[in-house]
Structure 1
Amino acid sequence: MVAAVCTVCELHAESTFRIEGMDCREEVALIERRFKHLPGVEDFSADLIGQRLHVKYDAAKLSTAAIAAAVADAGLRAWLEHEEPVPSGDKASRRRTLLLAVAAGAFVSGGIATLANAPGWVSTLLFAVSSAAGAPPTVRKAWQAVKSRSFDINVLMLIAASGAIVLGQWSEASAVVFLFALAQTLEARTIERARTAVRALMELTPAEALVRDESGDRVMPVDEVSLGSLILVKPGEKVPLDGEVVAGASAVNQAPVTGESLPSDKGPGDEVFAGSINGGGALEVRVTRYRRDTTLARIIYLVEQAQAQRAPSQTFVEKFASVYTPAVIVLAVGLFLIPPILFGGSWNTWTYRALVLLVVSCPCALVISTPVSVVAALAGAARKGVLIKGGVHLERAGQVRCVAFDKTGTLTRGVPHVVGVVALNGMPDNAVVALAASVERRSEHPIAQAIVKYAESHSLEMAAASDVASLTGRGAEGNVAGVRVVLGNHRLFEERSLCSDDLHAGLVALNARGQTPVLVARD
């Protein structure tokens, strides 16, 4: 799968590649090391969440084929859009999951065999199978790191596992390989979950828009809609692009974009966002932003950037390994060579001690536990309804001393409910609610649903309403048992000259308490 955009001006070009197999920061680091020294590259950036690589280069010195070859040298695959290769990402993911399952089963079985005092060769064979099944990803990444003359975490873990095998400690080797493979798999799953979230955001906007021009109405892809075009958004449809309402009025549900629980009334001159849902009225909207520049597109970009940020502890482990690994190797080589050569020590003895040093020097607990703990914390928060956009924000949360909220909706449940009924002119409270619910029972507006739910919870009888009309942005009206009933907001009652000075003062007081008054009147 590849998305590519290529523009050439003189000898300068820009290309965006889709990278298959880029699932963690190690692969990003491998690409960065190769492209820093690749002739003709002027600038580049790798997007881990989107699995994209954007390259600015001199077309006279570098071709797209050479860029793809450089990515291939890192053990990954890259294509331009028009080539449309058959992706193997799903197969690779299934193969990785299968190997991890084999490694886990063999590791646990080896432990059981050891505890059951089975013959030594049985547990050794099981631990060897576990090591062989869990090692391929680490071996591949370690080999790529060595080819680029760098020593990362994968090299460190591979050396530790190899040393344990040479020493005959198959259980130790199996534990190192399996647990590290598990940690890498969990990290890859976290990245994939972020990609799923981004894809869900992208699906909030429709792929097509109904464009109105001199020739009439026609449906066209949103990517082809130009600025200033007039689009028609029918009731119940999603707004395809950011724009300004030029005709019509409706209550627009902006919750998918802004998180606001109640629909926002929109009319001429008001701004609407791509991804929001139109209510009961048709809207004509003048497009003000291309699809790539919409508010939702910017949100998606910020989510991608936030998810790509690793926690400080994870970054520390990477930097630590880049320095610590070569230092341990040099120390082990010195321990292997110096005593036998300078002091006549036994080669067998000092070889064994050098291998022991390599094994015990591997910070397995730090390397394995860091990504696992971050993933577990993010998943635990998500189960409780808290979305933390990356490990970096998770760790920074511990430094928070004060939290400011921009609106009360952030703290409330986001679902309106009736908190009180005030009847005037001696009419019973339940009668007022029954009239309102009779008109609102077929409305999907959150406030209407709250009124109906209140009536149902109090077992109030709702009569059949006729000639019900939705007054966009103001309320509704209809006939109930031969009586004309009007209900809505303060503005509607001002327009109908139904608001007195005392009523106005009471409404202002309710608004000051954060409550939304709904007024009901009958003929």
Structure 2
Amino acid sequence: MASEKNVYRLQGLSCTSCAAKFEKNIRQIETVEDVQLNFGASKLTVAGDASILQLEEAGSFDGIKVFPEKQRLPKQHIPFWKKRENQTTIASLLLLLAGNGVSTLNGEDNWLSIAFFALAILIGGYSLLKEGLRNLSKLEFDMSTLMTIAVIGAALIGDWGEGAVVVFLFSVSEALESYSIDKARNSISSLIEIAPSTAMVLRNGKEFEVEVEELQINDIILIKPGQKIAMDGEVIQGDSSVNQAAITGESVPVHKTLGDEVFAGTLNEEGSMQVRVAKLAEDTTIAKIIHLVEEAQAEKAPTQQFVDRFAKYYTPAILVISLLIMLIPPLLMGGVWSDWFYKGLVVLVVGCPCALVISTPIAIVTAIGNAARNGVLIKGGIHLEETGQIKVVAFDKTGTLTEGRPEVTEVVSISGLTETELLQQAASIEKFSQHPLASSIMRAAEKLPNGLLEVENFQSITGKGAKAILDGRLVHVGSPNLFRELHHLEESLEHQILELQQQGKTVMLVWSEEGLDGMIAVADQVRKSSMTVIQKLHQLGIKKTVMLTGDNQSTAAAIGQQLGLSEVKAELLPHEKVEMIKSLGQYGKVAMIGDGVNDAPALATANVGIAMGGAGTDTALETADIALMADDLEKLPYTIKLSKRTKQIILQNISIALGLKVIALLLIIPGWLTLWMAIMADMGATVIVVLNSLRLMRS
């Protein structure tokens, strides 16, 4: 029997090495069977039995606080000067300046200057030295251990001033890194705070304020002007403009009225509404977004996997090199022990892989968080990286490049039936069909004076049409291809059908055993943004833009030409779309964008599957690698651009992390690199990498 898993949110998790140590400490708790720590989301999953007290004890070295997942983290508003770590850093700086002042006046070996430097080390580096010595006793070599060795080593060779500088710089760099990482995590914490924690519910004619976790499906909640909607649901009374930017990234409010769907965390701007709750708190769209974003931030991108493998061998190599530098020259070459011991300490400090290890995850966390705020849900670092390498974009037509709401444009009667009678026959059959074109006929038939006819023996003909018995006659509604399979189509009618299809319209024929009754033309309007999006994609380096549709060749070709697509493939069944995605792979990585329902197989086959209109659509959230939460194609170029920019920043980060270390290591040879310069190179690289990654928040 699998152990129960408990999920917690963390406060105070400051660095990747601290996260690794925290996870290791938890694993050592006897009652814990497994543990997963998500550094980006600051989230912990524990299998087994462990109290919050035990977990906080495991993270006491970093002051980590643990809270149940559903509990909202308390907001910390501690003034800068009241934070203990900042107070000790300032005290360390003042003592360091005092020591430098005394040594300038009375010489470096003056007992008073040494006392000032020693106090600066003890006060500013108390936490560092405590943790470092504890790690050293267990032979655990992390940043705290290396800094402790460097400070003690500096004191042993009488360089107290340099030891004090190391402590001060380390404290400043740790504070900057912690602040920067918290900024990157704000994308998640801001999402968590979007939805209100309470709602006004109407029960037995009375209003009650309750926690959202207590709400049940079909409860009625009241939404007043200016309030945030607490739960996903359906409007049953009232109407209003609702700002859905938090969920979909749409900047323009959406009008909601009777029967419309609303989402938790969106803002009711004008009128009052009553909403019937459709989902429990843990199943709302915003809850799913938060969960998927956190999972995505935990998933390692290919670049990160490579860096982690590299660091695994790099760190021990640096330790060995440092030891060899300390020992070989004095033992075999007559070198001075203090000089080479000092150089070994410098190598140890400058070689620490902190900046390298954090170079990728901090960029991924920031980019995925930024995308979520803009209504784009990216389900992992691997998908974020691959999107920037896309060379082919394949589009579904209906609902992606077009509005997805086809309308009847022509009703042409060929037999003795009137246009109204022809539409009545088609609508009577299509009432039972699930095809998108059926809905357009039903909308056109809403105002028929005599309503619909009685239908017997309805049968759907997959991908081609439908048939049924109306008033004792077998009547078909279907594509021209279906008619051709059963009957001969006159040349004049072929010409009329082709003419309508070349205008981008889909033609459906209506016929009975007596012959062809007429035709109905339906057109799906192209999205206003589609042409601009196609142009932007080509500018971003996309080689081919392809439309894959089940519609007829002439209609597809007309739309493809209008939009400037590279290629159009029409009259495709779902399995044929999959084959097309595979064949397009010869041009490079392929992205498929569709509605996430009918296109699920093609989305799964593509290197990157992108679903349109993910808000409220469970299939889109589950099937696709990326979900555009609003029904907005403009988000596609934004997503590709963000991916490319993220890749650039990751490469910049790796170059900074390794480049500064190479330069610093070369400076050791002539003896130009001091201990404080080494820590500046190491911690400076970490801070630069983090700040560079935060630029993605503005992408």
State the TM-score, normalizing by the size of structure 1: 0.57
Contact kept in structure 1, 2:247 and 2:266, CA below 8 Å:
yes
* Residue equivalent to 1:101: 90
* Residue equivalent to 1:29: 20
Shift of 1:107: 4.4
Mapped to 2, the partners of 1:210 and 1:197 lie a distance apart of: 28
1:120 counterpart letter in structure 2: E
**The 10-residue stretch of structure 1 (47-56 or 312-321) with the greater mean CA deviation from structure 2:** 312-321
* Residue equivalent to 1:41: 32
Shift of 1:224: 0.6
Shift of 1:94: 0.7
Report matched runs for 1:174-323 at 5 Å. 174-194=164-184, 196=186, 198-301=188-291, 304=294, 323=313
Pair 1:150–1:101, CA change in 2 (3 A): same
Contact kept in structure 1, 2:329 and 2:340, CA below 8 Å:
no
Contact kept in structure 1, 2:157 and 2:338, CA below 8 Å:
no
Shift of 1:239: 0.7
Pair 1:202–1:151, CA change in 2 (3 A): same
Contact kept in structure 1, 2:32 and 2:47, CA below 8 Å:
yes
Q: Could you tell me the percent identity over the aligned residues?
A: 31
Contact kept in structure 2, 1:212 and 1:218, CA below 8 Å:
yes
Specify the SS of the correspondent of 1:120: coil
In the alignment, is residue 120 of structure 1 matched against residue 108 of structure 2? yes
Report matched runs for 1:112-511 at 5 Å. 119-121=107-109, 124-146=114-136, 149-194=139-184, 196=186, 198-301=188-291, 304=294, 323=313, 326-327=316-317, 329=319, 349-350=336-337, 353-363=340-350, 367=354
Pair 1:147–1:209, CA change in 2 (3 A): farther
Mapped to 2, the partners of 1:34 and 1:141 lie a distance apart of: 14
Pair 1:282–1:229, CA change in 2 (3 A): same
Mapped to 2, the partners of 1:336 and 1:194 lie a distance apart of: 40
Corresponding pairs, count = 399
Contact kept in structure 2, 1:68 and 1:79, CA below 8 Å:
no
Mapped to 1, the partners of 2:15 and 2:162 lie a distance apart of: 25
Structure 1 unaligned residues grouped into runs of 5+: 1-9, 407-510, 515-523
In the alignment, is residue 55 of structure 1 matched against residue 43 of structure 2? no
CA deviations 1:372-397 (Å, max 9, x no partner) are 99999x99xx9xxx9999xx89x979
Alignment RMSD, CA only? 5.6
Pair 1:238–1:398, CA change in 2 (3 A): closer
Higher RCO, 1 vs 2 (CA within 8 Å, ≥6 residues apart): 2
Mapped to 2, the partners of 1:314 and 1:100 lie a distance apart of: 33
1:119 counterpart letter in structure 2: G
Mapped to 2, the partners of 1:303 and 1:45 lie a distance apart of: 16
Mapped to 2, the partners of 1:130 and 1:324 lie a distance apart of: 32
CA deviations 1:234-268 (Å, max 9, x no partner) are 23321111112233322211123322121101123
Pair 1:359–1:512, CA change in 2 (3 A): closer
Pair 1:89–1:323, CA change in 2 (3 A): farther
Structure 2 unaligned residues grouped into runs of 5+: 396-525, 530-699
Contact kept in structure 1, 2:323 and 2:344, CA below 8 Å:
no
Shift of 1:157: 2.5
Mapped to 2, the partners of 1:288 and 1:263 lie a distance apart of: 22
Shift of 1:75: 6.8
Mapped to 2, the partners of 1:44 and 1:262 lie a distance apart of: 43
* Residue equivalent to 1:444: none
Mapped to 2, the partners of 1:314 and 1:112 lie a distance apart of: 46
